[in-house]
Amino acid sequence: MSEAAADLRKTALHALHVELGARMVPFAGYDMPVQYPAGILTEHNHTRAKAGLFDVSHMGQARLWGVGADKAIEALVPGNIVGLAPTRIRYTVFTNDKGGILDDLTIGRAADHLSIVVNAACKEADYEHMRRGLPKSMRLEILEDRALLALQGPAAEAVMARFAPDAAKLTFMAFAGMKVAGLDCTVFRSGYTGEDGYEISVANKDAESFARKLLKEPEVMPIGLGARDSLRLEAGLCLYGHDLDTTTTPAEGDLGWTIAKRRREEGGGFPGDKIVLKQLADGPPRIRVGIKPDGRAPAREGTVVLAAQGPNAGKEIGKITSGGFGPTANGPVAMGYVTKGNNAVGTPLGLVVRGTTLGAKVASLPFVPHRYKKA
Least Å distance between CB 291 and other proteins? 16
Contact assessment for residue 150 and residue 54, using Cβ atoms and an 8 Å cutoff: yes
Residue 351 touches other proteins, criterion: CB under 8 A: no
Find out whether 72 and 136 touch, Cβ atoms under 8 Å.
no
44 contacts other proteins (rule: CB under 8 A): yes
Decide if residue 122 touches other proteins (CB under 8 A). no
Task: Please give the Cα distance from 152 to 170 (Å, whole number).
Answer: 14
d(CA 53, CA 223) in angstroms, rounded, equals 6
Name the residue nearer to other proteins (CB basis): 41 or 203. Answer: 41
Q: Is 295 helix (H, G, I), strand (E, B) or coil?
A: coil
In angstroms, the CA 55 to CA 222 distance is 9
Q: How far, rounded to the nearest angstrom, does the alpha carbon of residue 286 sit from its chain's CA centroid?
A: 21
Instruction: Calculate Rg over the CA atoms of the chain.
Output: 21
Among 41-49, 65-73, 96-104, 146-154, which window interacts with other proteins (CB under 8 A)? Answer: 41-49
| Cβ pair 284, 249 in contact under 8 A | yes
- Check binding of 52 to other proteins (CB under 8 A): no
Separation CA 303–CA 198 (nearest Å): 34
| Cβ-proximal residues to 337 (8 Å cutoff; 6+ apart), any chain | 248, 252, 286, 287, 288, 289, 305, 318, 319, 321
Nearer to other proteins, 174 or 291 (CB): 291
How far is 193 from 369, CA to CA, in rounded Å? Answer: 10
Size of the site for other proteins (CB under 8 A): 20
Beta bridge partners of residue 337, listed in sequence order: 288, 319
Q: Is 232 in the site for other proteins (CB under 8 A)?
A: no
Q: Does 119 bind other proteins (CB under 8 A)?
A: no
In angstroms, give the least distance from the CB of 329 to other proteins: 11
Cβ closest to other proteins, residue 34 vs residue 202: 34
Can you list the positions of beta strands (E) in the chain?
23-27, 30-35, 51-55, 60-65, 89-95, 101-109, 114-118, 139-142, 146-152, 175-180, 183-188, 197-203, 220-222, 286-293, 304-307, 316-326, 331-339, 348-353, 356-363
Q: Is 24 in the site for other proteins (CB under 8 A)?
A: no
Question: How far apart are CB 7 and other proteins at their closest, in Å?
Answer: 22
Indicate which single residue of 153, 250, 324, 350 sits in contact with other proteins (rule: CB under 8 A): 324
Nearer to other proteins, 300 or 371 (CB): 300
Q: In this complex, which beta carbon is closest to other proteins, that of residue 142 or of residue 329? A: 329
Residue number with CB closer to other proteins (284 or 350): 350
Q: Does 230 bind other proteins (CB under 8 A)?
A: yes
Is 2 a binding residue for other proteins by CB under 8 A? The answer is no
Instruction: Work out which of 297, 304, 329, 352 binds other proteins, going by CB under 8 A.
Output: 297
* Span interacting with other proteins, options 122-130, 173-181, 206-214, 323-331, rule CB under 8 A: 323-331
Q: Please say which residue, 111 or 356, places its beta carbon nearer to other proteins.
A: 356
Task: Name the site residues for other proteins (rule: CB under 8 A).
Answer: 34-35, 39-42, 44, 226-227, 229-230, 296-298, 300, 324-325, 327, 332, 354
